[in-house]
A and B are shown apart, each in its own frame.
Chain A
Amino acid sequence: MELQTFIPLALLILLLPLAGFVTLIFAGKKLPRKGDWLATAVISMSFLLSLTLLIVKLGWYPDESITGSFNWLVLGDAMFGSTLAIELGILIDNLTVVMITVVTLVSTLVHFFSIGYMEGDVRYTRYFAYLGLFSFSMLGIVLTHNLLMMYIFWELVGICSYLLIGHWYEKKSASNAANKAFIVNRVGDAGMFIGIMILFTNFSTFTFETIFESISAGILPFGSTGWLTAAGILIFCGAVGKSAQFPLQIWLPDAMEGPTPISALIHAATMVAAGVFLVARIFPILTADALMVIAYIGAITALIAATVAITQYDFKKVLAYSTISQLGYMILGLGVGAYAAGFMHLVTHAAFKAGLFLAAGSVIYAMHHALHKREDHHTDAQDIRNMGGLKSKMPVTYWTFVIFTLAISGIPLTSGFLSKDEILAGTLAYSSLNGHYLLPLIGFIAAGLTAFYMFRLLILAFHGNHANTSRLADLRESPKVMTIPLMVLAGLSFFIFYSFNPFGAASGWFFAAIERPMSLVPELMQPTGAVLFHETVQGVHGIAMFISILVAGAGILGAFLVYSWKKISADQLASYMSVLYRGAVDKWYFDAIYNRVFVDGTIRLARILRWFDERVIDGLVNGTAVVARKLSQGGRWFDTYIVDGLINGIAEITDRAGNMLGKLQTGKVQTYLVYIVFSFIVLFVLYLQI
């Protein structure tokens, strides 16, 4: 395949889901089976094309990056003799091909799974249409070669998320969650927009390549490295919103109100990964300071989400917090400079987290049907306290869930182990170079907590006895259309797909394909060089692996001690650490604080504005009205008395004069004759006088 054919191929991959969306939204209900096969077919086609692209790109052109673009808007002449134009275009490099394959693969599996899960839904067609729109937007983010298009697709992803979280909008909680997700994302997006505009103001272009070239040539935004750091952090704000990083992580758990396959697709595997992808994309222009901020935000996110996950009882909420925590890991990895490891965690996490959510969907689907048969509409189908002992009833779901849990906990031989281990080694290397020892510490604690809460979930939901035997008597394994995607994803959770060495990703194809790009910022602000960093990582890799296996093992052991063998009472443990426990249960008060500060603050501000409106603006308007009324009253007086008076006066005078003269006209001929004679005499006398 020629290099040039990559661009039309990529366009095809991008536009196929859009075509599916347009067809479904306008004509979906008229199609047989309400069009689900069409959506699934186009996304499968996209996936196959992406896979081809991935293989060809990595196999034959591993070092090339292809750009295809055209001027969209030409705004005039910019400085330095170039034209100021907004370009649309596609950039294909290794990062892109890996990402589109992940997106289309997860999306395809979710499409298949949804055929089973969403069966009989009221808005079945619309659901599949939105899935297509979402895939299109996500692919757009990945394929674009400039920041403006990325921002446009970024917002499209946001609106898809809104539409899909609010799919069951009759539920108040679902529509609230949709609003919350959208609004919280806007906060991050505003920062991202400012960041993009800082770059555009200075470089007159949105294109990554041109911006990178300018910066590597030593041109800085407003001439200072501080502004470059600021631009980097502001663009990262977009990632904070979309990837649910501290302090904007609050929307993701609520987003679980959407259908479970949506949680798998958007809120675990792809949309939230967009933030990580954004950081990877702008990595070359991030300064050391910006990267440090990013690393700390990632670490804080990983830790607080992991602690909250321990205390949750809702099946999907546990997974939601684990997603936030894992996203924190990716951001942490990128922040410390373990670029390939962070991005690899995105890919491996996409597979096993999509799997976890689809397994959750399978469990919830089965629970729901079992409860429905028993006419039980009060028991929460998502509460793990109502489950237990599902292992024997749902063997396929159980065994795939075990594999996903092992992967997310970072147990050797799984994909999660490879990527997480590299990230932890990266943090260790970073701290040994810069002295930020908090980062690896948090990383390892969060790794232990991850293993603990994931096994807690596994044990509570699948092991042990039924919480209520009769209630779940009718529980059945989910249909094939749902279990096969699970098996595919379980397969992809093994190390073999990413590296042939189960204890080191560095020698695998992934690390060969995804190389950390050269930093382009001025030398003083550069993060630790890739070569030195790589050497340090190799030095600490053994220790990192050892500790990571140790904490994961400890976490798993702890989970079994507390929840399976009941050697330690969970309640007692909670009361020992009552402050920590309550904090975690209340999600570290983020929602409460945001409610108090922002929601109440907004309402209070609205009240003040309303007062201002009512008193000042209304007063002004009413005052104007009163003045205008008085003026017009004056005008009216002038009209009635002066203008009308003049006219009536003239008429009156004419009338009177007419009446007076009319009296002369008696109608009697003789009178006239008298006048004539009299007049004649007068004239005659006058004549004689002269």
Chain B
Amino acid sequence: MDLIIEPGLTHFLAVSAILFSLGLMTVLSRRNVIMVLMGIELILNAANINFIAFSRFTELSLEGQMIGLFVVIIAAAEAAVALAIALNIYNRFKTINVDQISQLKG
């Protein structure tokens, strides 16, 4: 069996899926808002890997890479806004623990 395998689409998708799962895991389990945001970044990048992989291995050519760049930019903007929100949450609640921010409890 050949140990050096030419990486194909499936490998990329697998990496992307693992990354997405890790990100989701982080978003769901972490209490710190910053950590949740980092999880979201992972999820976004998992999507990015998908876009790039599909653009590499299918006929879509450059459109995938274009959207990949776009997502990076959006992610940057999102991070800025989200951190601002986190700051405001801290000002309001004196904590950034999402467990304790449950004022909208029904």
A residues near B (Cβ < 8 Å) are 661-670, 673-674, 677
Could you list 5 examples of A-B contacts with CB < 8 Å? A662-B106, A664-B106, A665-B106, A668-B101, A669-B98
Tell me, yes or no, whether B104 is within 8 Å of chain A by CB. yes
Taking the closest CB of chain B, its distance from the CB of A657, in whole angstroms, is: 12
A665 touches B104 (CB 8 A): yes
A670 touches B104 (CB 8 A): no
Of residues 55 through 106 on chain B, the ones whose CB sits less than 8 Å from some CB of chain A are 98-99, 101-106
How many angstroms between the C-alpha atoms of A665 and B104 in the bound complex? 8
* Residues A673 and B106 in contact in the complex (CB < 8 Å), given A668-B98, A668-B99: no
B105 touches A667 (CB 8 A): yes
Q: Which residue of B lies closest to A661 (CB)?
A: B106
Write the nearest CB–CB distance from B38 to chain A, whole angstroms: 14
- Residues in B with CB closer than 8 Å to A673 are 27-28
- Contact call A667/B106, Cβ cutoff below 8 A: yes
Tell me the bound Cα distance from A403 to B37 in angstroms: 143
Chain B residues with CB under 8 Å of A665's CB are: 104-106
- Residues of A contacting B24 in the complex (Cβ-Cβ under 8 angstroms): 677
Q: Which residues of A contact B29 (CB under 8 A)?
A: 670
What is the chain B residue whose CB lies nearest that of A666? B105
Other-chain residue from B27, B28, B104 in contact with A667 (beta carbon distance below 8 A): B104
Closest to A659 in B: B106
Chain A nearest Cβ from B52, distance in angstroms: 24
Separation of A669 and B101 alpha carbons in the complex (Å) = 9
What is the minimal beta-carbon distance from B55 to any residue of chain A, in angstroms? 25
Least distance between B43 CB and chain A CB atoms (Å):
11
Given A673-B27, A677-B24, verify A668-B106 contact (CB < 8 Å): no
Q: Contacting B102 at CB < 8 Å: which of A661, A664, A668, A674?
A: A668
Kindly identify which residue among B28, B103, B105 contacts A670, using a CB–CB cutoff of 8 Å.
Answer: B28
Using CB atoms, name the residue of chain B closest to A664.
B106
Q: A670 touching B102 by the CB < 8 A rule?
A: no
- Would B98 and A670 count as touching, CB distance under 8 A? yes
Q: Are B28 and A666 in contact (CB under 8 A)?
A: no
A573 to B103 CA separation, bound complex (whole angstroms)? 126
Kindly state the separation between the CA atoms of A668 and B105 in the bound complex, as whole angstroms.
7
A674 touches B28 (CB 8 A): yes
Inter-chain CA distance A471–B13, complex, in Å, is 152
Instruction: Give CA–CA (A677, B21) in the complex, Å.
Output: 11
Minimum distance in angstroms from B46 CB to a CB of chain A: 14
Q: A666–B98 Cα gap in the complex (Å)?
A: 12
Residues of chain A with a CB closer than 8 A to B98's CB? 668-670
Top 4 A-B pairs ranked by shortest CB distance? A665-B106, A667-B102, A667-B105, A662-B106
* New A-B pairs, 4, CB < 8 Å, besides A667-B102, A667-B104, A668-B105: A666-B102, A669-B36, A669-B101, A670-B27
Bound Cα distance A303, B28 (Å)? 132
Across the interface, which residues of B come within 8 angstroms of A668, CB to CB? Answer: 98-99, 101-102, 105
Shortest CB–CB separation between residue A658 and chain B, in angstroms? 8
How far, in angstroms, from A179 to B75 measured CA to CA in the complex? 115
- In the bound complex, what is the Cα–Cα distance between A669 and B24 (angstroms)? 13
Q: Return the contact of A677 from the options B28, B99, B102 (Cβ within 8 A).
A: B28
Please measure, in the bound complex, the distance between the C-alpha atom of A510 and the C-alpha atom of B54, giving whole angstroms.
150
For the complex, give the distance between the alpha carbons of A666 and B28 in Å: 14
Q: Which residues of B have CB within 8 Å of A663? A: 106
Q: For A661, list chain B residues within 8 Å (CB).
A: 106
Contacts of B103 in A (CB 8 A): 667
> Which chain A residue lies CB-closest to B27?
A673
Measured between alpha carbons, how far is A305 from B106 in the docked complex, in Å? Answer: 108
Interface residues of B in 1-56 (CB under 8 A from A): 24, 27-29, 36
The chain A residue sitting closest to B100, CB to CB, is A668
Q: List residues of chain A with CB within 8 A of the CB of B27.
A: 670, 673
Closest Cβ–Cβ distance, residue A274 to chain B (whole Å): 99
In the complex formed, the residue of A with least CB distance to B103 is: A667
* A494 to B36 CA separation, bound complex (whole angstroms): 143
Separation in Å of the B47 CB from the closest CB of chain A?
Answer: 15
CA distance A668 to B27 in the complex (A): 12
Q: In the complex, how many angstroms separate the beta carbon of B10 from the nearest chain A beta carbon?
A: 18
Please name the residue on chain B nearest to A663 by beta carbon: B106
Give Cα A668–Cα B97 distance, bound, in whole angstroms.
10
- With A and B bound together, what is the CA distance between A673 and B23 in angstroms? 13
In whole angstroms, what is the CA distance A664 to B102 when docked?
Answer: 12
Contacts of B105 in A (CB 8 A): 665-668
Centre residue among B27, B29, B106 by max chain A CB count within 10 A: B106
Please give, as numbers and ranges, the residues of chain B lying within 8 Å of A674 by CB-CB distance: 28
- A678 → chain B closest CB, angstroms: 10
Contacts of B99 in A (CB 8 A): 668, 670
Q: How far is the CA of A525 from the CA of B105 in the complex (A)?
A: 114
A662 CA to B106 CA, complexed, in Å: 5
**In this complex, what residue of B is CB-closest to A658?**
B106
Q: Which has the most chain B C-beta neighbours within 10 Å: A661, A669, A673?
A: A669
* B86 → A minimal CB distance (Å): 12
Question: Bound complex: CA of A662 vs CA of B103, how far in Å?
Answer: 13
Q: How far is the CA of A674 from the CA of B36 in the complex (A)?
A: 13
Q: Which residues of the other chain, A, contact B102 by a CB distance below 8 angstroms?
A: 666-668
CB distance from B106 to the nearest CB of A (A): 3
B74: min CB distance to chain A, Å: 20
